[in-house]
Amino acid sequence: MPKRYTITAALPYTNGPIHIGHLAGVYVPADIYTRYLRLTGNDVAFICGSDEHGVPITIKAKKEGVSPQDIVDKYHSIIKTSFEDFGISFDNYSRTSAKIHHDTASEFFKTLYDNNEFVEEISEQLYDAEANQFLADRFVVGTCPKCGNEESYGDQCENCGTSHNATDLINPKSAITGNVPTLKETKHWFLPLNKHEQFLKDWILKGHKKDWKPNVYGQVKSWIDDGLRPRAVTRDLDWGIPVPVEGGEGKVLYVWFDAPIGYISATKEWAAREGKNWEDYWKNDDTKLVHFIGKDNIVFHCIIFPAMLKAEGSYILPENVPANEFLNLEGNKLSTSKNWAVWLPDYLVDFPNQQDVLRYALTANAPETKDNDFTWKDFQARNNNELVAIFGNFINRVVVLTNKYYDGEVPTPSDYNAIDDDTIAALKAYPAVISSSIERYRFREASQELMNLARLGNKYLADEEPWKTIKTDEERTKTVMFTALQIASSLAVLSEPFLPFTSAKLKNILGHAQLESEPNWKMASEQLLLPAHHKIGKGELLFSKIEDTQIQEQLDKLEASKKANALAHKAVEPQKEEITFDDFSKLDIRVGTILEAEKMPKTKKLLVLKVDTGIDTRTIVSGIAESFKPEAIIGKRVTVLVNLAPRALRGVESQGMILMTEDSNGNLVFVNPDNKEVADGLKIS
Ligand SMILES: [Zn+2]
């Protein structure tokens, strides 16, 4: 029976692009689930959008010297485009800075306020007097009271996932100035989670939520068992949704209060556009609400948001929250700040038209029940050994042979033997097998069943050898090719949730759109999909081999990140002994241009340069040959210490010194005046 679903995917935070951890944890599984629901005839709203409020945005804006709006505009656009290019099929991708969201979140807050669902309290909060700023959320760092992690944020510890109040932190420090905060009185509105404890116990622990994933259920249970306390849902900040009640001046809604309401406002925006009623998707008991999130968001989606929805009173509650664990990269935790990630926009450039390869690699190795590791070698193996060697190879054989033997026309089968019967029975069972895995949120297992179907096809062809029987038994060959074409056709249909780009190509090759009724998931379980005499098209490569050099390039990128990080954390050399101004003014430093450069014979490190110093053209021997090719530096502007006493190096007199430094990767670079208006010979003082 068709059903109505509201599927939400965690709102990505707009302080950076999407990386593979986000994709594996949330967006790829959510997209597989949604595409599957649509294919099986359900009414689905697939909702997401950018989360644009909160402290990290304001911190980043301050750092870059731009406005918070500039930051969110930039990343909203990058994120939205890369999702589209990657084939994540949202019905609506909205943003929390949109007016419809501000209105929806304000209204939600007011309803709870009017229903006396908040506790209003003047309390002492952490305050940084130097920065003139209350310290909530990421403005404060300290020791987690639960696990002892010394870098916990004010609202959440990323190590143990605990959500707490900033005043709970042990040894708090301001993230702005590094100062130890003082306490200052301020008024806030609190959501009394303790008041909803019984409801949450009944709903989750005694209710039917035992079918939630063990990692999700376990975390929620431990939270409830620890006892719930009131949580402040407002903040003393200027970036966010203004608190819409009296006394709320200068305060905004806590980002975790407004963000989940973003699912509702994005649904409203979509429904208005599509001429639908949004309330069907949020207030009708027949609708199933499913939140796809990463494990760091469990508490917000399983405790705080349901408590908010319950307090409001007119909304449905989530049916399931299939949160994934974390994905690591090459054995290390993914990190935006350390640039230890595979960024989606980069992937789309480095591997054009290979979206399905990453979708498949992330699904086949998804962190569904435990943290998992993404390695480029595994990515290459998934492509070369499975997508190319099994799926692609099978399709290629079927299409090439059909064109070769029958000019692209599906042949008419004659008698089926027992092997054909078994193969067709197995084929028709696949839709139910894959459905069952998807409906239990086991996408990894589902992707492997899809590959097993391609294996079935490969084995069938290898056993029946139509390329041999074509010479001896034409009728048998027709039956074999007919059966193989049915497997190819089912693969086209059943691969759509996992490999949407490949599925579209394959449907096109097989001419699905030209059939009387276009094959779908249900038909694949009930009948053979391609009738005799149907004409298929020419082959087209579905997957191509990924070479070692491509993988090495990616590993080199990561190695560069590692180096840059090591360098950033390297102890800075201590300052040298103090000098007088007179000492400094003895140095004669000039702007110059390199005119000639040659390697010093029989040395590794030395280059002999001719440099125009503005005063004269002189010879300088410089130990930079390992970092620069001579021909690459001719014409470079450099800074030269010109009054250094000449000295002979390997018999060549060096008359000065070129000033050098290191870039963030540890490579030598010139200290150079980029401005061409600066004439050679000008003094640097
Ligand atoms: Zn902790």
Tell me how far the alpha carbon of residue 414 lies from the centroid of ligand 1, in angstroms. Answer: 67
CA of 10 to the centre of ligand 1 (A): 22
What is the rounded CA–CA span in Å between residue 593 and residue 613?
7
Ligand 1 centroid to residue 149 C-alpha, Å: 5
**What is the Cα–Cα distance from 25 to 292, expressed in whole angstroms?**
8
Residue 13 DSSP one-character state: B
Sign for the CA dihedral angle at 98, 102, 104, 108 comes to positive
Q: Are strands 4-9 and 43-50 parallel, antiparallel or unpaired?
A: parallel
Residue at 444: amino acid letter: R
* Residue 181 structure tokens: 């905060």
What angle do the packed helices 500-510 and 355-364 form, to 10 degrees? Answer: 120
Between helix 255-274 and helix 305-312 the angle, nearest 10°, is 60
Ligand 1 centre to CA of 168 (Å) is 11
Please give the distance, rounded to the nearest whole angstrom, from the Cα atom of residue 160 to the centre of ligand 1.
4
Span from the CA of 337 to the centroid of ligand 1 (angstroms): 20
Distance CA 87, CA 359 (A): 10
CA of 154 to the centre of ligand 1 (A): 11
| Residue 7 · residue 290 · CB < 8 Å | yes
- Predicted confidence at residue 501, as pLDDT, reads 98
pLDDT-flagged residues of the chain (< 50): none
d(CA 196, ligand 1 centre) in Å = 24
* C-alpha of residue 220 to centroid of ligand 1, in Å: 15
- Measured CA to CA, the distance from residue 154 to residue 173 in angstroms comes to 10
Give the distance (Å) from ligand 1 centre to CA of residue 367: 21
For 394-448, the pLDDT digits (tens) are: 999 999 999 999 999 999 999 999 999 999 999 999 999 999 999 999 999 999 9
pLDDT of amino acid 158 = 82
Quote the ligand 1 centre to 305 CA distance (angstroms): 21
Proportion of the chain in helix, strand, coil states, percent, rounded to 5: 45, 20, 35
- 145 C-alpha vs ligand 1 centroid, how far in Å? 7
Q: How far is the CA of 229 from the centre of ligand 1 (A)?
A: 17
Question: Tell me, what's the pLDDT at 632?
Answer: 87
Q: 353, 501 in Cβ contact below 8 A? A: yes
**pLDDT given for residue 82 in this prediction:** 97
In sequence order, the 6+-apart residues with CB closer than 8 A to the CB of 584 are none
Tokens of 30: 């959510």
CA of 58 relative to ligand 1 center, distance in Å: 24
DSSP 233-271: -EES-SSSPBP-STT-TT-EE-HHHHHHHHHHHHHHHHH
Per-residue b or e along 378-389, where b marks 16 or more CB atoms closer than 10 Å to that residue's CB: ebbebbbebbbe
State in Å: Cα 57 to ligand 1 middle: 23
CA 664 remoteness from chain centre: 25
335-363: pLDDT as tens digits = 887 889 999 999 999 999 999 999 999 99
234-235 and 252-253: which strand pairing?
antiparallel
Distance 401 CA to ligand 1 centre (A): 60
Is the CB of residue 450 less than 8 Å from the CB of residue 495? Answer: yes
Tokens matching residue 619: 């010879």
Whole-number Å distance, alpha carbon 164 to ligand 1 midpoint, is 9
User: Does pTM top 0.85 for this prediction?
Assistant: no
Report the separation in Å between the CA atom of 568 and the middle of ligand 1, taken as the mean of its atom positions: 26
pLDDT at residue 567, rounded to an integer: 77
pLDDT at 504: 98
At 309 the pLDDT is 97
